[in-house]
Amino acid sequence: MKKAFLFVVVACMLWGTSGIFVHFLSPYGFTALQMTAVRGVISFFVMAGFALLFDRRQFRIDGFRELLLYIFMGATLFGTAFCYFQSMQMTSVSTAVVLMYISPIYILLFSVLVFHERLGWIKGLSVAGILFGCILTSGIIGGGRFNLPGVLIGVLSGVSYAIYNILAKLSVRRGGSPIKATMYAFLFMAIIALIPSRPDLAVSYIAAKPLQTIPLLIGLGFCTCVLPYFLFNSSLKTLPSGTASAMSIIEPLSASIFSFTLLGEDPDAFSIAGIVLILGCVIVLERSELKKNPEDTPAEPSASA
């Protein structure tokens, strides 16, 4: 059990390092599209290698519907990563991470609007708190760094991740393998990102500074995506899924702390208050959902942040 807790903590901290790699790759000319493509390519090949060594049945796709589901999962992973990285470049790491991390609010609103689920006063207050926290974090209040397009793109990353979670749950409930679903999602994410990303330019950036860029690109794919995914999945063998899901709050906290301490971002009191408010409201929402559906497992571990 202690090892499982440690795996979750390390996984969430690794997911939270995405901003570090984006911060150091951007000056070399890499765009959000190119970083998304690299992340998808590396993640797919590592997971495909794992499947090739341990379970080749993971490559088999059972029909067109399953293929279509994986394509849509790949598209939402692409939207999540691209918008997340782009928002980081346009605003700040701390702003981008909280905007992506409020994805539970989109799932809740989707349930209310489409399935006519009752909102309730606790969820209603949580939604209002998250929205106000976004206003504080974005810089609208207090004269902080505010970039409206960057904030809107950050919101889109959360929307994409919410849709990905819904599709991932659908895949699991249909009896699909989480490893197979994620592997193919990364494949289609990479294909979608490679087409418009000008890979020839990315190659030229690598050729100009190979010793600096190659380790960063490998780290972007392996350390922020593949390794934490396997650590998180390993923890679920002994750790209750609800506990692991609740501990995922470590991810945005780690990302914010890294941005403040390592990347030199200087948050004001409004931004800090917004981050705390958002994370607190997300915890309330997740606890409320777990009480309502205690048997429900979280969707896939984060594959985006």
* Distance from the Cα of residue 34 to its chain's centroid: 17
What are the structural domain ranges in the chain?
A: 2-292
- DSSP labels, 55-94: -GGGG---SHHHHHHHHHHHHHHHHHHHHHHHHHHHS-HH
Summarised one tens digit per residue, pLDDT across range 227-243 is 998 888 888 777 776 66
Summarised one tens digit per residue, pLDDT across range 102-139 is 777 777 777 777 767 777 778 788 878 877 877 777 66
- Whether residue 298 has pLDDT greater than 50: no
pTM to 2 decimal places = 0.84
- Whether residue 77 has pLDDT greater than 50: yes
* pLDDT at position 142: 57
- Among 94-103, 165-174, 182-191, top mean pLDDT goes to 182-191
Residue 1 in 3-state DSSP? coil
Angle between helices 121-138 and 269-292 (to 10 degrees): 150
* pLDDT at position 293: 57
Q: What is the mean pLDDT of the chain?
A: 83
Instruction: State the CB neighbour count (10 A cutoff) for residue 230.
Output: 16
* pLDDT at position 297: 46
Average pLDDT over residues 249-260: 80
